[in-house]
Every structure is written in structure tokens, then in C-alpha cells.
Amino acid sequence: MKNKIIENLKTLFYALIIALVIRTFLFQPFYIPSSSMEPNLLVGDRIFVSKYTYGYSKHSFPFRPSFYEKRFFNKPPQRGDIVVFKTPEDNRTDYIKRLMGLPGDKIQFVDGNLFINNKKIEKKTVSTDTKIFCGEQELYINAFEEILPNEKKYIAVYNLNGGYKDSDVFIVPKKHYFFLGDNRDCSTDSRFLSRVGYVNEINLVGKAQIIFFSNDKKEGSLLKFWKWNKIIRFERFFKKIK
């Protein structure tokens, strides 16, 4: 009996070590709690983020050890990547946004249009007068396919009523990045310098890769298995994140 207990404890210990290694160096699951990345990521999506894509920093490890203020095996992210990072406000909270500005870039909004390094980002209308969520509130939006200088394409949405129009010029500092939410008028991102602002490369956690599960909390609890056809978004399972 004693030997069996010891063997079970060893198995549990090894399983925990393996899980910790995978979470630290390979993939970490995250839950999407807000509407800031709609329509590409929905509240209730559960995603896997690759930890190795950009290398590792203290934020890759549990308890965020502060013994080293650089990245190991550093690989620069690409414009248009959807990235999980620690917000500079507290270096603890996980945010997920789309990378728009690289070090040295100039970012500006003029009359609702996005400019990167003085060049207007091309956008094509996908839909007009469409509803989308911002928390519990529904917004009427126009949806556009934006095309970045590196040919990265994605859907961004803008509020029809009083959306974000104009800004000062944001100049991204060395070793920092500029992020935006795809739901442009429902996102606290790098435009808000006191909350997020420019994100140091040290704060990057990883790249969003795939949705592995999704449920709509507005339709009810997962415990209501008889409503799973409405609660669980089966069509989003194992959907690659672009």
C-alpha cells in the first residue's frame, strides 16, 4: 500500500513537471475576457499561445523572476501578429492585441484612417451597419479588411457613432511595440499612454495561434448541457488565429 502511494505521488510529480515545462516553454492557454478583439476573437474563446515564437523573458516563467532584464533567443514579432503581453501599467495583467507599430514607426489616426509611417493603410469594406458587442453593449459598426505594408490582412471594426477619429503622432521607441485592438472603439491599447502605451519587448508573452474551445456565456452556463448547441461554439474549435 505504501509503495503504491509513493508511485502515485511520483506520477503526479512528473505530470506536474511536464505540464510546467510545456506551459513555460511551448504553449500556454488563455481565456478571452473582453470584446476588444472582436470579431476575430470573441469573449469566451480559449486559445493557445506559443511561448517560443518570440523567445523568452522573465514574463515567460511563473512568478516572473527579475534576475534578467533581456530576452533569451529573441525573435522579433511581425507586424499584424496577435500577441499576448503584460501591460506596462502593472507588468502583471495579460492583454491581447494586434501588433501594429514596430520600433521607430510613426502611428497616427486621421479622420478615422490609420497611417503607419505617413502611409494610409488600405482598407476594403466588408460590411456596414452591423452589430457587434462592446462588453454588454451592442455597437453599430462598419467592418473593414485592413491590409498592412507586409500584406497581412485582418478584419477591423469602427463604431458608426462617434468613433475614434484623430490622434497625435505616436513614435514607437527603441525595443518597444505599439498595439491596437481590432474592435477599435472598444479597446484600451497603446493609444492610451497612461494605461498601456508603448510595450517593452520584455513584456511579450507569446503569439496567439489557435482557438481550442469557445462558449457563449450570454447563452448560459456550460452546466446546462441541454443547451450546448447554443452555448458551445463548435464552429470555432481548432480555428487558426490570423
Active site residues: 36, 97
Q: Is the distance from CB of 37 to CB of 96 less than 8 angstroms?
A: yes
Query: H or E segment at 133?
Result: strand 122-134
Return the closest-CA partner of residue 43 out of 53, 35, 51, 52: 35
Return the closest-CA partner of residue 170 out of 113, 104, 224: 104
| CA–CA separation, 175 and 132 (whole Å) | 34
Q: Which residue reads 466588408 in cell numbers?
A: 126
Can you read off the three cell numbers belonging to residue 142? 462598419
| CA–CA separation, 117 and 170 (whole Å) | 10
The CA-based dihedral angle spanning residues 152, 153, 158, 163, taken in that order and rounded to the nearest 10 degrees: 20
Q: Is the distance from CB of 146 to CB of 122 less than 8 angstroms?
A: yes
| CA–CA separation, 25 and 46 (whole Å) | 19
Q: Is the distance from CB of 128 to CB of 142 less than 8 angstroms?
A: yes
Q: Find how far residue 185's CA is from the centre of its chain.
A: 16
